Amino acid sequence: MTNSKFKKWLFIASLSLNALFVLFFVLKRVYYANYDYFHPKPTIEARWTNFLNSTNNGKEVVFLGTSITQGFNVTKEFNNPQIKNMGFSGNTTNTVLASLKRVVPRKPYKIFIEGGVNDFKYKIPLDTAVNNVLKMIEVVQAETPKTTLYIQSEFPTNLKKLNDTINAYNSRIKSVCKLKGVNFIDFHDDFLRYGKIDNSLTFDGTHLNETGYFVWRRNIEQFVN
């Protein structure tokens, strides 16, 4: 091979490698920008099918709640396949109640409930939300009385007006739990800073980041295990 041909081949090879290098990063950006497209999340009913067909060894622990609960990888965090997450984005206390009615026939060992923030974002009256929590307690006590039920306080947000309603809600459901003899876990203040959710625990003022989930787990692990 002559020197000129070698230089030409080397130039083409160099261009090709550079093009592949650029293409790799372009495709990588496209992949992560469309992550949900390449990794579609299970539908609500698919999640229910998986849950209802899952093994229940009598020690099943079920988490119900909003997207805040949905983002909590409880199976991994507590290293137990019997700890299951049936929280759903957009859930109100009414839809959590509907979920609960699908769960109780399995006679779970424990149930953890979180909810309320979406009610108030959707302008659902405080009385309605509190009454739905009361109905949840009554459903569990009537249909699976051996299940240990935990009602958890709702998290603060970065909106003062919404927080005022959440504070009133937490106070009232705490009283309802005391009246009905149900466990109430109040970790609200551990997420609070200057009257709003601690910015270090959230990525958007409502939903928890990794540190936020660590604080939540720390608050409830003694009850889960």
- Binned at pLDDT 50, 70 and 90, residue 12 comes out as confident
Q: Choose between 42 and 200: higher pLDDT.
A: 200
Angle between helices 93-103 and 126-143 (to 10 degrees): 10
Residue 198 has pLDDT above 80, yes or no: yes
The token pair at 10 is 């080397």
Contacts of 10 (CB under 8 A, 6+ apart): none
3-state secondary structure of 101: helix
Tokens encoding 58:
């009598």
In angstroms, how far is the first alpha carbon of the chain from the final one? Answer: 73
Residue 201 has pLDDT above 90, yes or no: yes
H or E element: which one contains 119?
helix 117-121
Q: Quickly list H helices, 39-112.
A: 44-52, 67-70, 74-77, 93-103
Q: Identify any residues that bridge with 197 across adjacent strands, giving them in sequence order.
A: 192
Query: Tokens 């009850």 belong to which residue?
Result: 223
This prediction's pTM: 0.82
Its CATH class, for the domain covering 45-224, is alpha beta
Specify the higher pLDDT residue, 60 or 1: 60
Question: Is 20's pLDDT higher than 80?
Answer: no
The answer to whether the beta carbons of residues 152 and 112 sit under 8 Å apart is yes
Least confident of 36-40, 85-89, 139-143, 181-185: 36-40
Contacts of 37 (CB under 8 A, 6+ apart): none
Q: How far apart are CA 95 and CA 115, in angstroms?
A: 10
Segment 109-166, tens digit of pLDDT: 999 999 999 999 999 999 999 999 999 999 999 999 999 999 999 999 999 999 999 9
